[in-house]
């Protein structure tokens, strides 16, 4: 985790950011191959897996997970962590749902959800940089603060029944594909270009590789860290809008189960918890693999009590294999 509270000895010589056509691409290729093998296995085990409805359901679920995990990827690239994304989704969704009900304006609701998510990300960034609190502690504390505020605000109520036009964001189709899939493609392109092709994106990799060397080379580390936490918050705000439109209701516990799967998608996608390594596209593949596994367990009627265990084992194996592969290539 990034700890800016005290100077640290450089852990390695400063390395220039990685180009996209590098080891990262090879790692993504392995994960795409794993996703393909999972598809082959599930198609043999279940007659329902290759149905059109199920494939569209997998893509929609992977999209929802990706929205949260994409922003989280940028944080992890800096060797940080944002444990508040699930709670961020819950509060942002409840606030957006309230605004839509009161104003009857889906546009104002969308803006409210994004603004709330971004503001929470900004608070996280300020705690990590200005107050010099380690990201794990700062965002874990924020998680509980947001839970408390959301449960107090909702007071056990549920907001439901949104305009049909707004619901299209989460439940609609265009040219046979769910709308969230189009949103995924848009933000996948934006995230990849930002991380791989912009100076700010390359600086994020440099901070994760070695924050001291990055600071000495003139990179405004604090501002870039605030930026990634704000972007993580904005993506959580976007996820809250899609979830709100998909579920057609908002309640205090809407985001409780989202944080760990999002972190799992980032790790399965090949982003290193130690920072400086990983891609947004890899996170998309990680979200797809995790969704395929969860979907397969549902199709095969695996007990719900076993599913978290299987998910945890997959995450541990993914991280272990990733570390072993990277040691070998180095």
Helix (H, G, I), strand (E, B) or coil at 12: coil
Q: What tokens were used for 36?
A: 């393909």
Mean pLDDT of the chain: 88
Q: What tokens were used for 105?
A: 């304006």
Count of CA atoms in the C-beta half-sphere (13 A) of 25: 6
Q: Output the pTM of the full model.
A: 0.87
Helix (H, G, I), strand (E, B) or coil at 273: coil
For the segment 280-287, the average pLDDT, to the nearest whole number, is: 93
For the segment 274-293, the average pLDDT, to the nearest whole number, is: 91
Share of the chain above pLDDT 90, in %: 64
Q: What is the pLDDT of residue 131?
A: 94
* 311-325 tens-digit pLDDT: 788 778 777 776 776
Locus of tokens 């852990």: 11
* 218-277 tens-digit pLDDT: 999 999 999 999 999 999 999 999 999 999 999 888 877 888 889 889 988 888 888 888
Q: How far apart are CA 42 and CA 65, in angstroms?
A: 21
Its sign, for the CA torsion 88, 93, 96, 101, is: negative
* 92-141 tens-digit pLDDT: 999 999 999 999 999 999 999 999 999 999 999 999 999 999 999 999 99
Residue 21, pLDDT > 60, answer: no
């Amino acid at each position: 985790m990034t700890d800016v509270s005290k100077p640290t000895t450089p852990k390695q010589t400063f390395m220039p950011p990685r180009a996209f056509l590098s080891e990262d691409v090879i790692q993504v290729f392995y994960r795409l191959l794993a996703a393909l093998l999972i598809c082959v296995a599930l198609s043999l085990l279940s007659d329902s897996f290759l149905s059109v409805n199920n494939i569209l359901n997998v893509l929609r679920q992977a999209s929802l997970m990706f929205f949260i995990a994409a922003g989280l990827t940028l944080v992890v690239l800096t060797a940080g962590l944002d444990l508040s994304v699930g709670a961020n989704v819950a509060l942002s969704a409840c606030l957006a749902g309230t605004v839509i009900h009161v104003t009857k304006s889906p546009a104002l609701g969308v803006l409210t959800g994004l603004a709330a998510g971004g503001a929470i990300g900004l608070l996280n960034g300020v705690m990590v940089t200005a107050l010099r609190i380690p990201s794990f502690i700062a965002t874990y504390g924020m998680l509980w603060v947001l839970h408390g505020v959301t449960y107090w605000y909702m007071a056990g109520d549920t907001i439901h029944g949104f305009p049909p036009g707004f619901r299209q964001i989460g439940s609609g189709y265009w040219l046979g594909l769910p709308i969230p899939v189009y949103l995924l493609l848009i933000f996948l392109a934006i995230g990849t270009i930002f991380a791989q092709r912009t100076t700010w994106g390359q600086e994020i990799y440099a901070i994760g590789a070695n924050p001291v060397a990055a600071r000495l080379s003139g990179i405004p580390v604090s501002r870039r860290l605030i930026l990634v936490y704000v972007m993580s918050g904005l993506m959580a705000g976007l996820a809250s809008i899609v979830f709100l439109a998909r579920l057609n209701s908002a309640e205090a516990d809407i985001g409780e189960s989202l944080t760990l799967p999002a972190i799992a998608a980032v790790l399965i996608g090949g982003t290193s918890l130690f920072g400086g390594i990983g891609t947004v596209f890899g996170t998309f593949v990680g979200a797809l693999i995790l969704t395929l596994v969860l979907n397969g367990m549902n199709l095969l009627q695996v007990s719900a009590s076993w599913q978290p265990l299987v998910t945890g084992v997959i995450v541990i194996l993914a991280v272990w294999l990733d570390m072993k592969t990277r040691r070998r290539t180095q």
